[in-house]
Amino acid sequence: MHRSPQNVRHLPPPLLAALAGLIIAVAVPCRAAAQAHKAPASTTREKDRAGRSVASATRRSLRDSLQAILDRAVSDSAFPGAVAVIGSHTGPIVSVTAGRQDWGSEYKTTISTLWDLASLTKVVGTTSALMQLVESGKVDLDAPVQQYLPEWEGANKDQVTVRQLMTHQGGLPPFKQYFKANVSPDSTYHLFLNTPLDTLPGVRMAYSDIGFILLGKLVERVSGESLDHYVVTHVFQPLGMRDTRYKPSKTERYRTAPTEIDPWRGRKLNGEVHDENAYALGQVSGHAGLFSTARDLEKLAGAYLNGGAVGGGRLAGAETIRRFTTVVDSTFSSRALGWDTPSANGSAGHFIRRPAFGHTGFTGTSLWIAPQHDLYVILLTARVNPTREHNKIGPVRVAVADATMRALMPAVVADIEAHPASVTPASGRP
């Protein structure tokens, strides 16, 4: 019979004593059994926002390793500050910051610091836009570029396809210093438009800013929108990327990482694009000019890992993403459509292999995404501060990627180290 608390209080004292003894006799062994089955603190497991179980000890170990790498790089004057974020398809597993936004600055680096993405613009903005336009049938990758930009005239240019520009096989030279002409953005664009090919298309892979300048204009022509408006409206806003844009406002300078003391402009750059040609083009271009934060790039990487969608927003379909991020011809180059893929001595390190894809930026930024591991590696720095002659970023990129793989996928690393010639090790999950 169930007794209410009031009835228990009125039990005879001998019966109360017996009842108390019985409760203690049962409770103590139960508590001991629970403690015996409790996992040691060193193996307690937490979950990231993807719901994936990751040992807290593994998180701490990775965080400590990345912190040591970045702190050492700051001490070595590789850059004044940095942020590294390692995550899965819906959120970060480990985030680490080091240093300050500028040498001697009062502002520490945070995941909300704005960074000049440099050539990450090619994939974060231009390639993402082209994925959407190809998926919607508005752009044909194998159509000649002249179908969309008929004013792009010159010897053999009629043979160049959109696909060839995206894989840097269009025959264009890598770079021209047209910014030195000191003319209007429109006149600067026409200098690029009239640049002759170096070779026939498809003969070689020559990484070319000029090709992506043209692709940015192609996005504008097909969509009927300016490039900056298109990427914000159709790529960034749907994914909740509120801080990614061209030409950040002056009110955001306090959280923007400055770049170089530019001899051409005669000042240290803060909030204006580092790339001189992008500046001459009005700071909006398909090859450079975007600023973003680690927090925003987490969302973009998450979308690429999650079949093209994150947080209720959609970037593109899973098949479109696979199409754009798969290496086109590994016997010719490591390039996918817009994206690069891991190669020997590259910034993806020794253990991130295809079908992973990624890209770097001249200012010291990089993003690698490994769908087979449900993993991304973001590293943002301003290694060109105060001069582009600072060239210590390469080993840091490799160290961050390798430390991530060793911590989260030790079996994959062990397999690669045991079979170093392997190019497609088994996928793994932390």
Tens digit of pLDDT for each residue in 331-364? 889 999 999 999 999 999 999 999 999 999 999 9
Least confident of 9-18, 207-216, 409-418: 9-18
- Mean pLDDT for the stretch of residues 210-214: 98
Q: If you ran DSSP here, which 8-state letter would residue 125 be given?
A: I
3-state percent helix, strand, coil for the chain, nearest multiple of 5? 40, 15, 45
Tell me: pLDDT of 296 over 90: yes
pLDDT band at 53 (very low <50, low <70, confident <90, very high): low
Tell me: pLDDT of 1 over 50: no
Residue spans of beta strands (DSSP E) within 100-254: 115-116, 245-246
Mean pLDDT of the chain, nearest integer = 89
**Pick from 404, 378, 379: nearest CA to 65:** 404
**Domain limits, the chain:** 51-418
Q: Which residues of 381-410 are buried (b: 16+ CB within 10 A; e: fewer)?
A: bbbbbbebebeebeebbbbbbbbbbbbbbe
Q: Determine the 3-state secondary structure of 388 from DSSP.
A: coil
Tell me: pLDDT of 10 over 50: no
CATH superfamily of 51-418: DD-peptidase/beta-lactamase superfamily (3.40.710.10)
Least confident of 9-13, 178-182, 223-227, 410-414: 9-13
Contacts of 18 (CB under 8 A, 6+ apart): none
C-alpha 256: how far from its chain's center? 18
Bridge partners, 81 (sequence order) = 99
Q: How far apart are CA 362 and CA 364, in angstroms?
A: 5
pLDDT band at 218 (very low <50, low <70, confident <90, very high): very high
Report the predicted TM-score, pTM, of the whole model to 2 decimal places.
0.87
Tell me: pLDDT of 205 over 50: yes
- Please, what is the angle between helix 318-325 and helix 128-135, to 10°? 120
pLDDT of residue 429: 38
> What is the percent of the chain with per-residue pLDDT over 70, rounded to a whole number?
86
Q: How far apart are CA 127 and CA 166, in angstroms?
A: 8
Tell me: pLDDT of 36 over 60: no
Going from the C-alpha of 309 to that of each of 140, 141, 244, the distances in angstroms are 23, 23, 17
pLDDT of residue 421: 72
